[in-house]
Structure 1
């Protein structure tokens, strides 16, 4: 946001709402990833049985969620 939406970033920073905005963004990211994790079978059981597979699936989920967030928030 700092690079692509500079005016919005500065407005949030000056108005002391940047932290709230970032918290909301983090919560939104978590809400996005939860259904994706279920769909990909990312569970604590998988983590206990096969850590490497769990990490691979989690990385995929996070990357996909990040792409969605970037398109909706930063580049919208």
Structure 2
């Protein structure tokens, strides 16, 4: 049998238990935050389970890293199939083309990884 000692902090008429999460704080980027919002609003059970098990931040950090890697890989593949105009001759065309490819890659990753 495990003996657990809880401490409490008085707040007005109530005693609030002093609870802490064991998971360390990690940097979570754009895609991790999008995943967190999605889980919070649409997959509440999974969100609660990850949070209570202390694995939420690691899940979000891994999702963020995977999304960034996938976007870079997909963008490179799209660039092979649809080469960009010469940057020196047409800088605005090059920028527009690269932005278009990046948005295509991001849409794919959002649909397959973040919002699933």
When normalised by structure 2's length, the TM-score is: 0.52
Which residues of structure 1 form unaligned runs of 5+?
Answer: none
Within 2, Cα distance between the matches of 1:19 and 1:73?
A: 13
State how far apart, in whole Å, the 2-side matches of 1:21 and 1:66 are. 13
Which segment drifts farther, 15-24 or 49-58?
A: 15-24
Asked whether 1:4 is paired with 2:38, we answer yes
Secondary structure in 2 matching 1:70? helix
- Cα RMSD after superposing both structures: 2.3
Q: CA deviation at 1:40?
A: 1.9
Name whichever structure is richer in helix by fraction. Answer: 1
Contact 2:74 2:105 in 1 (8 A): yes
Please say which structure displays the higher CA radius of gyration: 2
Q: Which consecutive segments of 4 or more residues in structure 1 shift more than 3 A? A: none
TM-score normalised per structure 1:
0.74
Aligned partners of 2:75 and 2:102 also within 8 Å: yes
- The answer (yes or no) to whether the contact 1:42–1:57 under 8 Å persists in 2 is yes
Shift in alpha-carbon separation, 1:73–1:20, aligned structure 2, 3 A: closer
Number of corresponding residues: 72
In terms of fraction of residues, the more strand-rich structure is 2
- Distance, in Å, in 2 between the alignment partners of 1:58 and 1:11 is 36
**Unaligned 5+ residue runs, structure 2?**
1-34, 41-46
Deviation at 1:49, TM superposition (A): 2.0
